[in-house]
């Protein structure tokens, strides 16, 4: 295993890219901008290596990109209704940046900050970020860490940690997009997806959950048996019309706080590659890249269109600060936020 680094300039300051390469030549490239995953090179069924995550040719193009490609959004991933939530008697107002709602922590969220890096040994990189009290409207000074470890058996583990000095809300994930045929190979709708989820979260027209957990059985939202993502994507079903395809959160079956479990498998019949996803989080947002058209220029001249890649975002439930029935996103002083996401690549 080896770690190599490269520094590039950007309007936000220098960005450092770390490439972790294992003994088989498979590699992961990470960026200090948004503590992002900007490359994953893994073998197909024939042993041929290709990069299977969406990303840009220019490292600076990740700044404020619409897709939030590969990065860690925060302080609260996904949506908060009307950009308002309360903690006790205090009401907090956030930036409105997604229709009438707040999305991914705001326009200057964690995904658009340069994190402080630390290489640990030959297979781990830790990124740290300080978010001051009032940052994008959120309370409390928050210390955040994102630790990535890459192994010789092509497993990428991300541990997300946070501590606060004032009651706040935290919901962290990684927004990496996969196309297991290769990032520039076109549509991913032929990929098959399995989810460990019998229920999903219906939303209103602005993609804010209603608070209900609805059974997937008998609907296009059912991935309890593996099926092609494109199979029912254009079905006349209300949820799919709202997001122009899949852009919804599923509730993980058997969730227990802190317990790592298998939550999803994405497979590509064309290349033979698959990625198994494990998580300690209660939900997974599946976003089919429904609005990728017009993305910055991709790596190696790739042009990304709608549905070119799919994001599997392990996270807490959207709008949970306003939904007492949802798993709580509240973090108190003296507590530690700690969640794990694993991506295991197979052929």
- Contact (Cβ atoms closer than 8 angstroms) between residue 135 and residue 298: no
Sequence-separated (6 or more) residues with CB below 8 Å from residue 334: none
- Tell me the pLDDT tens digit for each residue of 185-202: 999 999 999 999 999 999
- Which pLDDT value is given to residue 277? 99
Q: Is the pTM of this model over 0.85?
A: yes
- Residue numbers annotated as active site: 175, 313
Full domain range(s) for residue 311: 2-346
Domain total in the chain: 1
Sequence-separated (6 or more) residues with CB below 8 Å from residue 276: 262, 264, 265, 342, 343, 344, 346
User: What CATH code is carried by the domain that includes residue 247?
Assistant: 2.70.98.10
Low-confidence ranges of the chain (pLDDT < 50): none
- Which pLDDT value is given to residue 326? 98
Q: Residue 27 and residue 41: Cα distance in Å, rounded? A: 5
């Amino acid at each position: 295993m080896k770690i190599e680094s490269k520094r590039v300039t950007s309007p936000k300051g220098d960005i450092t890219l770390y490439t972790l390469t294992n003994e088989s030549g498979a590699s992961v490239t990470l960026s200090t901008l948004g503590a992002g995953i900007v490359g994953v090179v893994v073998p197909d069924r024939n042993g041929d290596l290709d990069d299977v995550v969406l990303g840009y040719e220019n490292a600076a193009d990740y700044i404020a990109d619409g897709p939030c490609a590969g990065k860690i959004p925060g302080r609260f991933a996904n949506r908060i209704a009307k950009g308002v939530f309360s903690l006790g008697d205090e009401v907090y107002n956030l930036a409105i940046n997604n229709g009438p709602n707040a999305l991914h922590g705001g326009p200057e969220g964690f995904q658009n900050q340069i994190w402080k890096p630390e290489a640990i040994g030959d297979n781990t990189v830790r990124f740290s970020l300080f978010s001051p009290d009032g940052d994008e409207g959120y309370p409390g000074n928050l210390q955040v860490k994102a630790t990535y470890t890459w192994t010789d058996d092509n497993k990428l583990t991300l541990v997300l940690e946070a501590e606060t000095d004032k009651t706040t809300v935290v919901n962290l994930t990684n927004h990496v997009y996969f196309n297991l045929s290769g990032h520039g190979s076109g549509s991913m709708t032929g990929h098959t997806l399995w989810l460990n989820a019998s229920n999903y979260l219906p939303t209103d027209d602005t993609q804010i959950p209603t608070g209900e957990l609805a059974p997937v059985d008998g609907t296009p939202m059912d991935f309890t048996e593996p099926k092609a993502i494109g199979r029912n994507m254009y079905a006349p079903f209300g949820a799919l019309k709202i997001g122009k395809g899949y852009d919804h959160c599923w509730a993980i079956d058997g969730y227990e706080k802190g317990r790592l479990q298998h939550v999803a498998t994405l497979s590509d019949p064309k290349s033979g590659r698959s990625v198994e996803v494990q998580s300690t989080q209660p939900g997974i947002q599946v976003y089919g890249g429904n609005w990728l058209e017009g993305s910055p220029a991709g790596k190696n001249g790739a042009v990304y269109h709608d549905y070119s890649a799919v994001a599997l975002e392990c996270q807490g439930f959207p709008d949970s600060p306003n939904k007492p029935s949802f798993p709580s996103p509240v973090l108190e002083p003296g507590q530690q936020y700690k969640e794990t996401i694993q991506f295991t690549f197979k052929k």
